[in-house]
């Protein structure tokens, strides 16, 4: 388990390493993810590159979150994404959040995903 904790901590450090940068330097914002996930949910033909960005980002977010929760089992789990949730469902949750909160879309996409999934999939037990 120590190796797992090390990799989770490393992932967290690498993922957060850019958070101290100026807001204008956010590389992948909610606007970017909204465009990518809109492409994923569109009728064919759609922009496959953009749709792939949505799939990759949401998959990476979900797997990274699970890894951190496994590495720190004593931490209270705030978000409980159902294991059967598809990427399309996660994209739909994010797009609804983006529509309801357009003033936040200039922020980091990962932070917005956390907020969207926290609202949609809160854990009910400690």
Packing angle of the helix pair 48-71, 30-41 (nearest 10 deg): 120
pLDDT in tens, 61-106: 999 999 999 999 888 889 999 989 999 999 999 999 999 999 999 9
Residue 25 pLDDT? 62
pTM for the full predicted model = 0.77
Please state the three-class secondary structure of the chain as a single string.
Answer: CHHHHHHHHHHHHHHHCCCCCCHHHCCCEHHHHHHHHHHHHCCCCCCHHHHHHHHHHHHHHHHHHHHHHHHCCCCCCCECCCCCCCHHHHHHHHHHHHHHCHHHCCCEHHHHHHHHHHHHCECCCC
Residue 45 pLDDT? 66
What is the pLDDT of the chain when averaged over all its residues? 84
Count CB-CB contacts under 10 A for residue 31.
17
pLDDT above 70 (res 26): no
Q: Quick one: which of 49, 60, 67 has its CA closest to 10? A: 67
The arithmetic mean of pLDDT across residues 49-55, rounded, is: 94
State what percent of residues in the chain have pLDDT above 70. Answer: 77
């Amino acid at each position: 388990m120590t190796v797992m904790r090390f990799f989770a901590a490393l992932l967290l450090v690498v993922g957060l390493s850019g958070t101290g940068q100026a807001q204008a330097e956010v590389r992948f914002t909610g606007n970017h993810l909204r465009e990518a996930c809109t492409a994923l949910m569109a009728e064919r033909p759609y922009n496959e590159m953009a749709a792939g960005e949505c799939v990759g980002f949401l998959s990476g977010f979900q797997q990274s979150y699970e890894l951190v929760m496994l590495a720190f089992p004593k931490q209270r789990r705030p978000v409980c994404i159902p294991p059967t949730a598809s990427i399309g469902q996660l994209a739909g949750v994010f797009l609804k959040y983006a529509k309801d909160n357009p003033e936040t879309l200039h922020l980091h996409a990962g932070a917005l995903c956390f907020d969207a999934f926290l609202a949609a999939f809160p854990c009910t037990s400690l």
